[in-house]
Amino acid sequence: MDNAKKIKWYSLAFMAFSTVWGFGNVLNGFIYFNGIQVIFSWILMFALYFVPYALMVGELGSAFKNHGGGVSSWVHETMGPKLAYYAGFTYWACHITYIASKGSGGLKALSWVVFQNSTVFASIKPLYIQLATLAVFLFFSWVASRGLTPLKALTGAAGTSMFVMSILYIIMMFAAPAINPNSHFVSMDFSWKNLIPQFNGKYFTSLSILVFAVGGCEKISPYVNKVENPDKGFPKGMIALAIMVMVCAILGTVAMGMMFSPAEIAKNFDHYNANGSYIAFQKLGEYYSMGNILMIIYAICNTIGQFSTLVLSIDAPLRMLLDNKDAREYIPSKLLKKNKFGAYINGIWLVVILSGSIILVQSFVPGADKVLTQLTKLNAVCMTLRYLWVFAAYIALRTAVNYVKFPAEYRFVKNQVIAKFFGFWCFGVTAACDILGMYDADGFTMALKIIAPLVLLALGLIMPVLAKREKESQNA
pLDDT for 79 beyond 90: yes
Q: What is d(CA 111, CA 95) in angstroms, rounded to the nearest whole number? A: 24
Read off the pLDDT of residues 235-288 as tens digits, 9 standing for 90 and up: 888 888 888 889 899 999 999 999 999 999 999 999 999 999 999 999 999 999
* Residues in a beta bridge with 338: 344
Q: What is d(CA 7, CA 328) in angstroms, rounded to the nearest whole number? A: 36
Where is pLDDT greater, at 249 or 152? 249
Give the percent of the chain with pLDDT over 90: 67
Query: Average pLDDT of the chain?
Result: 90
Left (φ > 0), alpha (ψ -120 to 50) or beta: where does 105 sit? alpha
By CB atoms closer than 10 A (0-12, 13-18, 19+), residue 342 is exposed
pLDDT band at 68 (very low <50, low <70, confident <90, very high): low
Read off the pLDDT of residues 310-329 as tens digits, 9 standing for 90 and up: 988 898 888 888 888 888 89
Which long-range contacts (C-beta less than 8 Å, at least 24 apart) are formed by 315-318? 315/144, 315/149, 315/343, 315/348, 316/149, 317/91, 317/92, 317/94, 317/95, 318/92, 318/344, 318/347, 318/348, 318/351
Given a contact cutoff of 8 angstroms between Cβ atoms, the answer to whether 248 and 29 are in contact is no
pLDDT for 461 beyond 80: yes
Q: How many CA atoms lie within 13 Å of 281's alpha carbon, on the beta-carbon side?
A: 27
Q: What is d(CA 210, CA 45) in angstroms, rounded to the nearest whole number? A: 7
Read off the pLDDT of residues 237-251 as tens digits, 9 standing for 90 and up: 888 888 888 989 999
pTM of the model: 0.91
Once rounded to an integer, what is the mean pLDDT over residues 419-431?
97
Class of domain 7-467: mainly alpha
Tell me the residue type at 112.
Answer: W
CA dihedral 143, 222, 53, 404 (to 10 degrees): 130
- Summarize the chain as % helix, strand, coil (round to 5): 80, 0, 20
Once rounded to an integer, what is the mean pLDDT over residues 48-74?
85
Domain map (residue ranges) of the chain? 7-467
Q: What is the Rg, in whole angstroms, of the alpha carbon atoms belonging to the chain?
A: 23
Return the closest-CA partner of residue 98 out of 347, 388, 306.
306
